[in-house]
Amino acid sequence: MTANDQTAPSSGEVAAAVKRMLIAESRLSMDPAELAGDEPLKGDVLNVSSLGFVGMFVRLEDELDVELPDDLFNGRTFTTVDDMVEVVAAAAGR
């Protein structure tokens, strides 16, 4: 599937998938709904390494059946959960 397909994931599905991945990568046990969009990616709750981000993006591509092109990340800084959701949702066409 590509971002142009009618079956592209909804913004809610993208947000839920990103939150699940962040929680798993940070080795936490919590409901994704409890993770605030303004939660820092490197803070008291989440702690994702740069290598962890790479793995997460690969898994997100598989789970959401979208392509996250490398140039999508050029010059971007991911500070919060919402930063990641925004980029993945844009790639998914949502």
Residue 75 lies in a domain: yes
pLDDT winner (highest mean) among 48-52, 73-77, 80-84: 80-84
Q: Classify residue 9 by its DSSP letter.
A: P
* 2 in any annotated domain: no
CATH number for position 52: 1.10.1200.10
53 is a domain residue? yes
Residue 81 lies in a domain: yes
Give the pTM.
0.83
Residue 48 lies in a domain: yes
pLDDT tens-digit series, residues 36-55: 999 999 989 999 888 988 89
What does the alpha-carbon distance between residue 57 and residue 67 come to, in Å, rounded to a whole number?
A: 9
66 three-state secondary structure = coil
Report the domain count for the chain. 1
Give the separation between CA 38 and CA 35, rounded to whole angstroms.
9
Is residue 85 situated within a structural domain? yes
In terms of residue numbers, what domain contains 63? 11-93
Supply the pLDDT for residue 1. Answer: 43
**Cα three-residue angle 17-34-77, rounded to 5 degrees:** 55
